[in-house]
Structure 1
Amino acid sequence: MLKLSRLTDYAVVALVRLSAADGMETSPGIAASIGVPEPTVAKVLKALAGHGLVVSSRGARGGYRLGRPLSEIAVSEVIMAIDGPIALTSCVDGAVGCESQSLCPVAGRWDPVNNAIRTALSRISLADMEAASIPVAFRVPVSASISEVV
């Protein structure tokens, strides 16, 4: 199963939360609003700042804000900021790490699949991930129980 890391999931949630903030938002404030421990949020924000997805400011009025609008941040950028390059297998793009690479009948054949996934993820912005962009017919009320949804 292809699965994003928990930190990448938290990063997307934190970025969407930051988009709703007026001005700067602190790491503890973000943590409290999204229900994730503050040290984890701080780690995620530091990685996002390192890639220019958020801007940090120190001081009494310091905190974090988006580096650019959600519509200009692709899901692929968040994944790469937190987890590194998008690669389905260790041999994608000539990376070293598979001891069977010289004998593998599909060596190098994963590149087109990996490129398709990268392209798809680069076409989805975080604005597309906001609840407001989900058609009303597909929204699940927060108070709905699982039995009501299914």
Structure 2
Amino acid sequence: MLRLSKLTDYAVVLLTRLEGEGVQAAPDLAAATGIAEPTVAKVLKILAGAGLVEGLRGARGGYRLSRPLAELPLSEVIAAVDGPIALTACVDSAVGLCEAENTCPVRGRWDPVNRAIRQALSGITVADLAAPRPAAPPAAPPTRPAAIAATA
């Protein structure tokens, strides 16, 4: 199963919370999101190291987005927190990371799949995830089976 870490999920939540709010301190973000303050501080430090947020020191310090969420691909957040997007150890001609690389019949065949996933994740921005969900269409009235409708 391909699954992102909880820290990546928390990073997206924190980034969306920073949108339009200016500078926010880690304790305020923790209270607003329900994520534990030490985890918030850890994730913000990772995001700042990757240049996705800016940390500001001082009495009015905190964190703010380094650019709008609409310009922040999901792939960058994933790479910042979880590292390079790679489905298998041998993606992108990596060598020495798999015990079976010398005899593997599918070595190198995962590269196109990995590229497609990276491309898909690059096409989705954090703003896309932060957008409100579209309203569900109204439910259609229940239909009566033809046999019952004919006798009514």
TM-score range, shorter chain: 0.7 to 0.9
Cα deviations by residue, 1:40-95 (Å, 9 ceiling, x for unpaired): 11111011011111011000010000000000000000000001100000010122
Cα deviations by residue, 1:7-51 (Å, 9 ceiling, x for unpaired): 000000000000041x21001111111111111111110110111
Query: Residue 119 of structure 1 aligns with which residue?
Result: 119
Query: Residue 6 of structure 1 aligns with which residue?
Result: 6
- Could you tell me the TM-score, scaled by structure 2's length? 0.86
Structure 2 Cα separation of the partners of residues 65 and 137 of structure 1: 33
Aligned length: 136
Runs in 1 of length 4+ with deviation above 4 angstroms? none
Output the aligned Cα RMSD: 1.1
Q: Secondary structure at the match of 1:103?
A: coil
Unpaired runs of at least 5, structure 2: 138-152
Q: Taking every aligned residue pair, what percent have the same amino acid on both sides?
A: 64
Structure 2 Cα separation of the partners of residues 14 and 71 of structure 1: 15
Larger helix proportion, structure 1 or 2?
1
Q: Which amino acid in the other structure matches residue 3 of structure 1? A: R
Q: CA deviation at 1:129?
A: 0.4
Q: CA deviation at 1:131?
A: 3.7
Structure 1 Cα separation of the partners of residues 131 and 71 of structure 2: 17
Q: Secondary structure at the match of 1:64?
A: strand
- Could you tell me the TM-score, scaled by structure 1's length? 0.88
